Chains A and B, each alone.
Chain A
Amino acid sequence: MPSSRIRLVGAAFFALVAALIGPGPLARASDAITWGKQGEVLSYDPQHSGDGTSWDLFFLVYEQLLSTDDNFHLTPGLAERWEQISPTSYRFHLAQDAAFSSGRALTADDVVGSFKRLSDPKTGGVWGKQLGKIAAIVAEDDHTVRFDLEEPNSAFLNVLASAPTSILPIKELNDGSFDPKKALLGSGPFMVAEHVQDQYWKLARNPHYWRKNRPIADEFVIKILPNDSTRIAALRDGLVDVATFDNADISRLLRSEPKIKVIKQNTTNFYRLDVSAREEGSPFADKRVRQAMHYALDREAIANIVLGGEAKVEYPIPSGLGLDVCRKDPFYAEPRAERLVKARALLKDAGKEGVEVGVIGSSALAAYPLIAQVIQSSLNEAGFKAKVEEIPAADWYKRVFVAHPRFDLAVSWYAGYTDPAMVLYWWTPEGSKGWADGYTLPDDALTAAIQKVRSLPNGPERLAAMDTACGLIDEDSNVIALVGKPDYIAYRDDLVKVRFGANEGYFRTFKYAEEFSRQN
């Protein structure tokens, strides 16, 4: 090969290498905020969606009547103010200028239609049941809505801050020009400008958003980056400004990056253990075996080993709600050595020493199999022969959340929301119907206690009812609270000005997204 040609090829090669390793961030829109998100949205309909991965996007596009602050106190949302006019009636005054991103004004009819759809068992699904029994929803004028409940529900206002209560454009839904299963159309700060499945969502400022001078950023880009390492690399390279993580090790992994700030957002969410108590042949059909297993659990070990000591021991009523309840149950209060003695005695009494049990830790979340491993070790100390079953998420769903489950124990988690009655509702036969009733035993006393928590106003009597409910839940040992599930947010301190709530109950990680801006 002539030397000139060799030189040419060599120059081209080095030019390519220089281009590849050259410095400088990749092109991006001038004031866009980019979020590296763990997973893609699975369903578009906020009233049906049951996954937090979708909810955090809904909060950017849709609005709810109410919201909550960092201390879980109710704050205005679409409803600028509200009043409780009787134990079962509420009136909401909507923002006068609220409008969907299409430009059409949002009226009381949209609120009425959205809640009628949500509370109708045929169209609303499980989330409508959290509202309680609704007697009437009335549009008193274009901007005033009244809700009449059949019976008091102390959690009613808190439910109105959750993603499934998003207000939909009912006129368009009824005339067929909008299908909530195929598109997002809300009155929130952003609207969907472009979506490429599994790749990104490009949200543009909603030009008709009623809060003045908000949002600050013209664009909010969501890049779908499921791999933790990929999100870390994207943060470091400036491809994303903010990234969210479930992994408790993230602070350690990003410790050496001075430009990246990591914060832990406390949530009311908690990991739980589902116990198969209904199926014949399950060792946990015997209450003594369930209680033995419950006594043997080592929540501190889960918090320390799996979550790096950053999670708290959790109760059926999440500690994040700041209520001094549920702490006295022997399953929590007694030292572990004593609990182990009790566990062995109960197991012996039931004639199940050395019983083999499986602990499902599905791959749906990285923490599940790790928690299952700690549980395995704890149970074996009490005389169980536990084995971990690490299976795909779909397999877990098929084995656990069906009419005839095939499992012993399965690690899962609950959202804790902002009122105890909301999470406790899943322990009632009505709340668990159709998804958890295959493995949970009805307990009339527990249902009555939870009903009291739901109907009583805040006060000592309600707190006492909560304690009763917790005691019965722990005694049943059918669905067991384990440890908290905090979220982690990392962001480029040098690139963006952002704010996140210290506590969150609804997956509204980006509650303050409309205030986000770039540093320059």
Chain B
Amino acid sequence: MPILGFIGARIGVALFTMFVVSLIVFIAMHLLPGGFEQIILGPIQTQATRDAITNEFGLDAPIAEQFVKWAIAVLHGDFGVSMITRTPVAAELVRRAPATLQLAAMSIFTTLVVGLPLGIASGIGDTRRSVRVGARLLGALGASTPDFVLGTILVYVFSVWALGLTVGGYAPFLENPIANLRAMALPTLTLSVPGIALVLRTTRESVLNVMTSGHITTAVSRGESPSQIVRRHILRNASLPILTVTTMYLGALMGGSVIVETLFTIPGIGLYTWNALNNRDYQVTESAVLIFSILLVAVNMCVDIAYALLDPRIQGRRS
């Protein structure tokens, strides 16, 4: 049962990674200049009032003690309360998750639906100059335009001209699907463009590599149709690098959601985390980052397992 041992090892590494990430985030948050009491009370306030706030939330205790308390609470499923709203962080994360998950799902979907076919088409049609140049241009532009730049441009353009899509008009999908889609279209585009470029370029290179393999020539000589060759030979053999970049993109998506949700005022976990970071709302930031790291580690673990299933040689090498 080598696969079970492989999965066990992966889970062990994942748990250790999450512990290290939470420790680093906890320390980093408390090393940041400015404290919660300064942010919420503003600069004009007495020391006694500030001390009362730090004492109320135990922020005057040593960092190690605060970390142990927080970690024990998290292990019991208690993510604490937001120091600003005094509401449970877990409930707030659950309430905000749909917006972030929807944004991620729409972005992944758009990325794969656009990036994969374009990559395959440009790989197969490499002899045509227009396809080659077009794909390279799209790939280069998408990869070199940071999401915050593209997002800022889109926010500006759509705030100056009424082009049908809304900026800042988020409504939950189940309450008002049209309003929801109008508000989510631009954030999705902002997050998808770098992903499309990444997937397009990787798919194109992978397809080009596979196309020069001997078994493709054999398949052609066997008389298989072009669509059969693409599905059975090219895509299957090009899938590992595509899977790798898609995973990388998922990681970037989590960071990107913080920026994009803030830019477009999408009330998801990203915006919650960003505001909490600026307000030094430690409980929220630490819990949200832990959730992000759990998701990222889980995705990586799943991809590792998928690798092992797709290519049994990897099981032996990695375990």
Q: Which residues of A contact B (CB under 8 A)?
A: 16, 19-22, 26-27, 36, 40, 42-43, 48-51, 121-122, 125-126, 181-182, 195-199, 223-227, 229-234, 236-237, 239, 253, 392-401, 412, 426, 433-436
Q: Which of A122, A239, A394, A426 contacts B169 (CB 8 A)?
A: A239
B33 near A426: Cβ-Cβ < 8 Å = no
Q: What residue in chain B is nearest A198 (Cβ atoms)?
A: B275
B265 near A225: Cβ-Cβ < 8 Å = yes
Q: What residue in chain A is nearest B266 (Cβ atoms)?
A: A199
A239 near B168: Cβ-Cβ < 8 Å = yes
Question: Which B residues are CB-close (under 8 A) to A398?
Answer: 33-35, 38
Q: Which parts of B112-170 form the interface with A (CB within 8 Å)?
A: 155-156, 158-160, 162-169
Alpha-carbon distance between A181 and B52 when the two chains are bound, in angstroms: 12
Alpha-carbon distance between A224 and B265 when the two chains are bound, in angstroms: 8
Q: Which of A126, A230, A394 contacts B34 (CB 8 A)?
A: A394
Q: B72-110 vs A: 1/0 string, CB under 8 Å?
A: 000000000010111100001001000000000000000
Contacts A26-B169, A234-B169, A237-B162 given; 9 further ones with Cβ under 8 A?
A26-B179, A42-B279, A182-B86, A197-B84, A223-B168, A227-B168, A394-B34, A435-B44, A435-B45
Q: Is B226 part of the contact surface with A, judged by Cβ < 8 Å?
A: no
Q: B29-52 vs A: 1/0 string, CB under 8 Å?
A: 000111100111111111111100
Question: Which A residues are CB-close (under 8 A) to B272?
Answer: 197-198
Question: Which B residues are CB-close (under 8 A) to A42?
Answer: 39-40, 84, 279
Q: What residue in chain A is nearest B32 (Cβ atoms)?
A: A394
B38 near A20: Cβ-Cβ < 8 Å = no
Q: What residue in chain A is nearest B272 (Cβ atoms)?
A: A198
Q: Could you show 5 A-B contacts with beta carbons less than 8 Å apart? A: A48-B45, A122-B48, A225-B265, A233-B155, A236-B162
Question: Which A residues are CB-close (under 8 A) to B165?
Answer: 20-21
Closest 3 CB pairs of A and B: A394-B34, A50-B42, A21-B164
Question: Which B residues are CB-close (under 8 A) to A22?
Answer: 164, 178
Q: B254-288 vs A: 1/0 string, CB under 8 Å?
A: 00000000111101000110010011100000000
A125 near B42: Cβ-Cβ < 8 Å = no
A197 near B168: Cβ-Cβ < 8 Å = no
Task: Find the residue from B42, B158, B278 having the highest chain A CB count within 10 A.
Answer: B42
Q: Which of A198, A233, A239, A434 contacts B267 (CB 8 A)?
A: A198
Q: Which of B167, B168, B278 contacts A394 (CB 8 A)?
A: B278
Q: Is B176 part of the contact surface with A, judged by Cβ < 8 Å?
A: yes
Q: Which of B49, B82, B163, B264 contacts A230 (CB 8 A)?
A: B264
Question: Which B residues are CB-close (under 8 A) to A224?
Answer: 265
Question: Which A residues are CB-close (under 8 A) to B167?
Answer: 229-230, 233-234
Question: Which B residues are CB-close (under 8 A) to A433?
Answer: 46
Alpha-carbon distance between A93 and B86 when the two chains are bound, in angstroms: 36
Q: Which of A43, A125, A239 contacts B46 (CB 8 A)?
A: A125
Alpha-carbon distance between A40 and B281 when the two chains are bound, in angstroms: 14
B33 near A49: Cβ-Cβ < 8 Å = no
B267 near A412: Cβ-Cβ < 8 Å = no
A229 near B33: Cβ-Cβ < 8 Å = no
Q: Is B185 part of the contact surface with A, judged by Cβ < 8 Å?
A: yes
CB distance from B28 to the nearest CB of A (A): 13
Question: Which B residues are CB-close (under 8 A) to A121?
Answer: 46, 48
Q: Which residues of B contact A (CB under 8 A)?
A: 32-35, 38-50, 82, 84-87, 92, 95, 155-156, 158-160, 162-169, 171, 176, 178-179, 181-182, 185, 262-265, 267, 271-272, 275, 278-280
Task: Find the residue from A36, A237, A433 having the highest chain B CB count within 10 A.
Answer: A237
CB distance from B187 to the nearest CB of A (A): 12
Q: Which of B34, B95, B159, B267 contacts A229 (CB 8 A)?
A: B159
Question: Which A residues are CB-close (under 8 A) to B169?
Answer: 26, 234, 237, 239
Question: Which A residues are CB-close (under 8 A) to B275?
Answer: 40, 197-198
A239 near B38: Cβ-Cβ < 8 Å = no
Given A125-B45, A393-B278, does the pair A226, B159 have CB atoms closer than 8 Å? no
Question: Which A residues are CB-close (under 8 A) to B163?
Answer: 21
B181 near A229: Cβ-Cβ < 8 Å = no
Given A43-B84, A48-B41, does the pair A20, B159 have CB atoms closer than 8 Å? no
A233 near B263: Cβ-Cβ < 8 Å = no
Alpha-carbon distance between A270 and B247 when the two chains are bound, in angstroms: 51
Given A20-B185, A121-B48, A232-B159, does the pair A49, B166 have CB atoms closer than 8 Å? no
A394 near B38: Cβ-Cβ < 8 Å = yes
Q: Which of A26, A36, A227 contacts B176 (CB 8 A)?
A: A26
Question: Which A residues are CB-close (under 8 A) to B42?
Answer: 49-51
B267 near A50: Cβ-Cβ < 8 Å = no
Q: What residue in chain A is nearest B38 (Cβ atoms)?
A: A397
Alpha-carbon distance between A226 and B40 when the two chains are bound, in angstroms: 17
Alpha-carbon distance between A433 and B166 when the two chains are bound, in angstroms: 47
Alpha-carbon distance between A441 and B209 when the two chains are bound, in angstroms: 73
Alpha-carbon distance between A401 and B84 when the two chains are bound, in angstroms: 21
Q: What residue in chain A is nearest B264 (Cβ atoms)?
A: A230
Question: Which B residues are CB-close (under 8 A) to A223?
Answer: 168
Alpha-carbon distance between A100 and B232 when the two chains are bound, in angstroms: 73
Question: Which A residues are CB-close (under 8 A) to B33?
Answer: 392, 394-395, 397-399
Q: Which of B34, B47, B49, B168 contacts A393 (CB 8 A)?
A: B34
A230 near B265: Cβ-Cβ < 8 Å = yes
Question: Which B residues are CB-close (under 8 A) to A26?
Answer: 166, 169, 171, 176, 179
Q: What residue in chain A is nearest B156 (Cβ atoms)?
A: A229
Given A21-B163, A40-B275, A234-B169, does the pair A197, B182 have CB atoms closer than 8 Å? no
Alpha-carbon distance between A36 and B159 when the two chains are bound, in angstroms: 14
Alpha-carbon distance between A20 and B160 when the two chains are bound, in angstroms: 18
Alpha-carbon distance between A239 and B42 when the two chains are bound, in angstroms: 31
Q: Which of B43, B50, B159 contacts A412 (CB 8 A)?
A: B43
Question: Which B residues are CB-close (under 8 A) to A43?
Answer: 40-41, 84
A434 near B48: Cβ-Cβ < 8 Å = yes
Question: Which A residues are CB-close (under 8 A) to B87?
Answer: 197
Question: Which A residues are CB-close (under 8 A) to B40?
Answer: 42-43, 49
Q: What residue in chain B is nearest A122 (Cβ atoms)?
A: B48
Alpha-carbon distance between A233 and B265 when the two chains are bound, in angstroms: 12
Question: Which B residues are CB-close (under 8 A) to A226?
Answer: 262, 265
Q: What residue in chain A is nearest B51 (Cβ atoms)?
A: A434
Alpha-carbon distance between A397 and B44 when the two chains are bound, in angstroms: 10
Question: Which B residues are CB-close (under 8 A) to A426?
Answer: 44
Q: Which of A36, A122, A197 contacts B92 (CB 8 A)?
A: A197
Alpha-carbon distance between A237 and B171 when the two chains are bound, in angstroms: 14
Alpha-carbon distance between A232 and B47 when the two chains are bound, in angstroms: 39
B38 near A434: Cβ-Cβ < 8 Å = no
Task: Find the residue from A199, A225, A392, A396 having the highest chain B CB count within 10 A.
Answer: A199
Question: Which A residues are CB-close (under 8 A) to B39?
Answer: 42, 393-394, 397
Alpha-carbon distance between A199 and B262 when the two chains are bound, in angstroms: 11
